[in-house]
């Protein structure tokens, strides 16, 4: 009887310890990554509190990406690019990268054409958002969902 | 030292929209990676890029760690007059590179 109780206690205690260790490990290995809320916060920090309308912007990204370390990205905005009506800035944000803020381009009427392109890193299959700021202060956006087979940030360090 | 590749048309018609492509060699170390012994590799990125056309700023970009290594930037500008386009990159650890390209406008 004495032996039975101690065995039960031991198992309970051991189980509790194992669960504790397991939970701790889950928290410890959770990678640093932005959540949709963090992305929203980052967007608001950059563009302010004005309403973001869908449209006018076209975000070009390949739908399936083999290597997340170098992803071609282009943003085109439907704008005449005149002194009175031009694109002031284009911002790009991601949902699941460690940092949601990717890049900002500042243009003006001297750009002639509202198209910019670069290459970005994507840490995961996720959605990418491009927001453009027009000279009249309005904000327009477009988003694209991408599937990444080999994520950035996973390659071995030095 | 970093080397940059710049693609600007040598000649253009007045008022024509020209496309400019720039590429600069840089590791763009994100600051999120670790070495095999677990030490964090410090961030080392290019943070800013500016293009001026005869002294007037025509394009500017703010870069963050999510820009791929060897930053490649494509943008456009209106060919207004003959002169020089100056490209300037700045970044962590005092990184600063300036390149220029001449353009003839007819």
Write out pLDDT tens, residues B5-59. 999 999 999 999 999 999 999 999 999 888 889 899 999 999 999 999 999 999 9
pLDDT value for B38: 87
Does A93 share its domain with A17?
Answer: no
Decide if B64 touches A, using CB distance below 8 A.
yes
Q: CA A62 to CA A43: how far, in whole Å?
A: 23
Give the confidence band of A152 by pLDDT, cuts at 50, 70, 90: confident
Which one of A28, A47, A105 makes the best mutation probe of the B interface by having the most chain B beta carbons within 10 Å?
Answer: A105
Contact indicator for A81, A59 with CB cutoff of 8 Å: no
- Looking at the structure of chain A, the number of domains it has is 2
**Sign of the CA dihedral with B65 first, then B66, B68, and B70 last:** negative
Q: What CATH number has the domain bearing residue A104?
A: 2.60.40.2470
ipTM (interface predicted TM):
0.91
Q: What angle do CA A119, A120, A125 make, to 5 degrees?
A: 130
| Contact list, A110 vs chain B (CB under 8 Å) | 53, 56, 58, 77-78, 80
Q: Which one has a higher pLDDT value, B2 or B37?
A: B37
Does A23 share its domain with A93?
Answer: no
Nearest one of A146, A157, A24, A45 to A97, comparing CA atoms: A146
Which residue range is the domain that position A16 belongs to? 1-30
> A121 vs B65: CB contact, 8 Å cut-off?
yes
Decide if A29 touches B, using CB distance below 8 A.
no
**Was domain B4-105 assigned CATH 2.60.40.10?**
yes
């Amino acid at each position: 009887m004495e032996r039975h109780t101690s065995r039960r206690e031991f198992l309970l205690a051991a189980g509790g310890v194992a669960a504790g260790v397991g939970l701790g490990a889950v928290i410890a290995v959770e990678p640093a990554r932005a959540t949709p809320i963090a992305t929203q916060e980052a967007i608001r920090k950059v563009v302010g509190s004005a309403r973001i309308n869908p449209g006018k912007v076209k975000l070009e990204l390949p739908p399936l990406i083999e290597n997340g370390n170098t992803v071609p990205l282009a943003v085109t905005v439907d704008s005449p690019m005149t002194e009175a009506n031009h694109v002031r800035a284009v911002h790009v944000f991601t949902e699941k990268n460690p940092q949601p803020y990717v890049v900002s381009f500042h243009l003006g009427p001297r750009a002639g054409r509202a198209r910019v392109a670069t290459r970005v890193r994507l840490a995961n299959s996720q959605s990418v958002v491009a927001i453009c700021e027009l000279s009249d202060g309005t904000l327009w956006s477009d988003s694209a969902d991408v599937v990444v087979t080999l994520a950035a940030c996973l390659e071995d360090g030095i | 030292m970093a080397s940059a590749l710049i693609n600007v048309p040598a000649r253009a018609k007045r008022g024509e929209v020209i496309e400019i492509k720039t590429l600069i060699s840089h590791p763009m170390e994100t600051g999120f990676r670790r070495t095999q012994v677990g030490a964090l590799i410090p961030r080392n990125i290019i943070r800013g890029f500016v293009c001026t056309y005869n002294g007037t700023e025509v394009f500017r970009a703010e870069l963050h760690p999510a820009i791929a290594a060897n930053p490649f930037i494509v943008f456009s500008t209106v060919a207004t007059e003959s002169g020089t386009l100056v490209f300037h990159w700045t970044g962590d650890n005092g990184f600063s590179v300036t390149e220029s390209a001449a353009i003839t406008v007819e």
